[in-house]
């Protein structure tokens, strides 16, 4: 057990690729370890683990409790009252607690290297390694990408808005706000603690979501690499083995994150409906001063859930697209084989038909590209290697793909776009029901 704890955030002396790849991966892992230490998630020793839990109880439980019971300010003026502070503190603290416990469980069970699949990266192609390395650099802030750049700007904006609100609240409250001994020093210390608590909680929440997105992206790279087997001479065994390996990794990711995704969905749903219920009451005091933090909290929760669900739906869509690609490959090979075996059409008629309806492998490569077209999702024909695999084997592969669809699952439910549409419909129905009970919208 002690050996596992000491290896959780320490790189193993094992080369993952040739040349400089080991040094690059070792640097990435150390950078990730440093990033986790910045949010006080370090289990490399017993006292550091105790320090991590102490910071967690202080900033996620102690400071919010003091903030709510001591600084509720129920006797203050209208703009300085905090009628929705309980919802904000409970929702954000529960989300942060769920994220912290999940990260702690991942660290104890797998370790950072195994959790990020860095121990398996040596078996991947150079293209997959480079793509995953680029994503690691983007997460660490070493390389700019639009998705992660927008995420960091978004997180900084949330912190900025909350800090401005807290500074205004403490500075303009005057003697209405409780203090000890020196009013200005007491307010400054409490304000800093509240901002640190907010930063700590949203960082922990978003960290799990970003790690989930990162692990999903590795499997997307592998799926895109796997799609290349249909464009070259391959055998059934290699196709089947590679697909089984991808399915196993997706099952591992699903098993690790299924409880987190399910509890996050339940937490966000309850939090948003309670917020909607209390803010639409006729006697509610709703303005930017009283409900500003509630809006920031709701944005944080919904964004975290959105990152997880979007990543899961995207990789599931890519995995399901393999079935369509295999069916297209089988159809092209079958048509080509019949054209070769049954030469019943005169050459002139064939040339005329090709002139009228030209069919080339890249017939859709015009100036207007579809949204999200890539190796898995495109309408290009597949190069034919009919002599490599027989019709029966191709049919068996297509049938296997149809009955063994891969993707991210939550206790057996596939997180695809249809499932997301169902969630949206249920959420919308409950929202309209609450609005109908409170303000009469139906």
| Best-predicted range by mean pLDDT (41-50, 313-322, 371-380) | 313-322
Label residue 61 by pLDDT band (50, 70, 90). Answer: very high
What Å distances lie between residue 147 and 135, 153, 319, 340, CA to CA?
10, 10, 22, 48
Whether 295 is covered by a domain: the verdict is yes
- Per DSSP, the residues of 9-69 read SS--S---SSTTHHHHHHHHHHHHHHHHHHTT---SSHHHHHHHHHHHIIIIIIHHHHHHH
Q: Which of 95-99, 116-120, 305-309, 394-398 has the lowest mean pLDDT?
A: 116-120
- Report the greatest alpha carbon distance in the chain: 101
In 3D, which of 112, 100, 305, 318 has the Cα closest to residue 209?
305
As given in the structure block, the two tokens for residue 255 are: 């098993």
Q: What percent of the chain clears pLDDT 70, i.e. is strictly above it? A: 72
Q: How far apart are CA 314 and CA 324, in angstroms?
A: 16
Report whether 420 contacts 313 (CB < 8 A). yes
User: Between residues 55 and 229, which one has the greater pLDDT?
Assistant: 55
270 belongs to a structural domain: yes
Give the separation between CA 195 and CA 217, rounded to whole angstroms: 32
Q: 159-164 long-range contacts, Cβ below 8 Å, gap at least 24?
A: 159/195, 159/198, 159/199, 159/202, 161/292, 161/296, 162/195, 162/198, 162/293, 162/296, 163/195, 163/198
Q: Tell how far CA 13 is from the center of its chain.
A: 29
CA distance 39 to 203: 7
In the numeric block, the tokens 């930017």 are attached to 288
Alpha-carbon distance values, 38 to 32, 34, 374 (Å): 10, 6, 37
Question: How many domains, in total, are found in the chain?
Answer: 1
Averaged over 246-266, what is the pLDDT?
92
Alpha-carbon distance 117 to 215, whole Å? 8
Q: Is the pLDDT of residue 29 over 70?
A: no
Task: Please report the pLDDT score of residue 257 as a whole number.
Answer: 93
Q: Across all residues in the chain, what is the average pLDDT?
A: 75
Residue 197 has pLDDT above 50, yes or no: yes
Choose among 401, 423, 137, 394: nearest CA to 308: 423
Range with the lowest mean pLDDT among 31-45, 66-80, 146-160, 199-213? 31-45
Helix (H) or strand (E) holding 193: helix 183-226
Q: What is the pLDDT of residue 94?
A: 95
DSSP letters of 207-253?
HHHHHHHHHHHHHHHHHHHHGGGGGS---HHHHHHHHHHHHHHHHHH
Please state, in angstroms and as integers, the Cα–Cα distance from residue 411 to each residue in 267, 322, 328, following that order: 17, 23, 31
Average pLDDT, integer, range 384-390: 57
Q: Is residue 138 part of a domain?
A: yes
Neighbours of 269 (CB within 10 A): 16
Assess contact for 256 and 48: CB atoms under 8 A: no
pTM of the model: 0.78
pLDDT tens digits, residue range 282-315? 777 777 777 888 888 888 998 899 889 988 998 8
Nearest Cα to Cα of residue 139 among 130, 148, 128, 147 = 148
In a domain, 331, yes or no: no
* 3-class DSSP state of 413: strand
Contact 57, 100 (CB under 8 A): no
Res. 432 pLDDT band, cuts 50 70 90: confident
Return the minimum-mean-pLDDT range out of 163-172, 177-186, 249-258, 291-300.
177-186
Long-range (24+ apart) CB contacts under 8 A made by 281-288 are: 281/438, 284/83, 285/78, 285/81, 285/83, 287/78, 287/79
DSSP structural state of residue 369 = P
| Residue 5, pLDDT score | 33
Round the CA-based radius of gyration of the chain to a whole number and report it: 27
% of the chain with per-residue pLDDT over 90:
13
Rounded Cα–Cα distance for residues 273 and 427 (Å): 9
In a domain, 309, yes or no: yes
Least confident residue range of 107-116, 311-320, 350-359: 350-359
Instruction: Please give the structure tokens belonging to residue 395.
Output: 């049919």
Of 341 and 110, the structure prediction assigns the larger pLDDT to 110
> Which tokens hold the place of 198?
């907010």
In a domain, 102, yes or no: yes
Question: Would the pLDDT of 225 be above 70?
Answer: yes
All residues at 6 or more sequence positions from 190 whose CB lies less than 8 Å from its CB, including other chains: 66, 71, 170
Site of tokens 């029966």:
392
Task: Identify the domain containing residue 97 by its residue range.
Answer: 2-313
Find the distance separating the first CA and the last CA of the chain, reported in whole Å. Answer: 58
Write down the pLDDT at residue 196. 92
Token digits of residue 174: 């005057």
Residue pair 92/300 in contact (Cβ under 8 Å)? The answer is yes
Lowest mean pLDDT among 35-44, 186-195, 220-229: 35-44
Distance CA 74, CA 80 (A): 8
> Residue 413 pLDDT more than 80?
yes
Which helix (H) or strand (E) segment holds residue 409: the answer is: strand 409-410
pLDDT at 168 over 70: yes
pLDDT over threshold 50, residue 369 = no
Within-domain flag for 177: yes
Specify if 389 maps to a domain. Answer: no
Structure tokens at 406: 């891969």
Q: Dig out the tokens for 409 from the structure.
A: 């699952």
């Amino acid at each position: 057990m002690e050996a596992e704890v000491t290896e959780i955030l320490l790189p193993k002396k094992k080369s993952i690729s040739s040349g400089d790849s080991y040094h690059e991966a070792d640097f990435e892992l150390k950078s990730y370890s440093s990033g986790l230490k910045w949010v006080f998630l370090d289990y490399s020793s017993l006292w550091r683990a105790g320090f991590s839990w102490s910071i967690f109880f202080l900033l996620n439980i102690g400071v919010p409790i003091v903030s709510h019971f001591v600084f509720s300010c129920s006797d203050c003026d209208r703009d300085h009252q905090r009628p929705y502070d309980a919802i904000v503190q409970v929702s954000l603290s529960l989300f942060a607690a769920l994220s912290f416990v999940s990260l702690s469980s991942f660290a104890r069970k797998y370790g950072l290297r195994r959790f990020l699949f860095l121990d398996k990266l040596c078996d991947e192609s150079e293209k997959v390694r480079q793509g995953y390395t680029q994503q690691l650099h983007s997460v660490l802030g070493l390389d700019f990408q639009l998705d992660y750049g927008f995420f960091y700007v978004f997180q900084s904006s949330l912190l900025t808005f909350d800090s401005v609100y807290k500074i205004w609240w403490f500075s303009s409250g005057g003697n209405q706000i409780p203090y000890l001994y020196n009013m200005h020093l007491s307010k400054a210390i409490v304000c800093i603690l509240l901002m640190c608590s907010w930063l700590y909680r949203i960082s922990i929440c978003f960290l799990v979501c970003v790690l989930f997105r990162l692990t999903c992206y590795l499997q997307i790279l592998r799926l895109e690499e796997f799609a290349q087997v249909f464009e070259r001479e391959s055998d059934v065994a290699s196709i089947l083995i590679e697909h089984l390996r991808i399915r196993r990794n997706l099952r591992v990711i699903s098993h690790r994150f299924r409880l987190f995704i399910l509890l996050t969905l339940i937490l966000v749903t309850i939090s948003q409906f309670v917020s909607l219920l209390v803010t639409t009451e006729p006697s509610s005091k709703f303005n930017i001063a009283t409900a500003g933090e509630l809006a920031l909290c709701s944005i944080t929760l919904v964004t975290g859930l959105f990152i997880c669900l979007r990543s899961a739906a995207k990789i599931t869509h890519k995995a399901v697209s393999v079935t369509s690609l295999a069916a297209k490959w089988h159809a092209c090979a079958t048509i080509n084989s019949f054209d070769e075996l049954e030469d019943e059409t005169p050459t002139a008629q064939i040339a005329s038909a090709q002139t009228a309806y030209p069919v080339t492998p890249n017939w859709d490569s015009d100036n207007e590209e579809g949204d999200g077209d890539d190796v898995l999702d495109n309408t290009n024909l597949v190069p034919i290697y009919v002599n490599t695999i027989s019709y029966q084997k191709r049919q068996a592969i297509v049938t296997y793909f149809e009955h063994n669809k891969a993707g991210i699952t939550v206790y057996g439910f596939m997180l695809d776009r249809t499932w997301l549409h169902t969630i949206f419909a249920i959420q919308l129905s409950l929202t309209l029901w609450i609005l109908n009970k409170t303000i009469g919208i139906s």
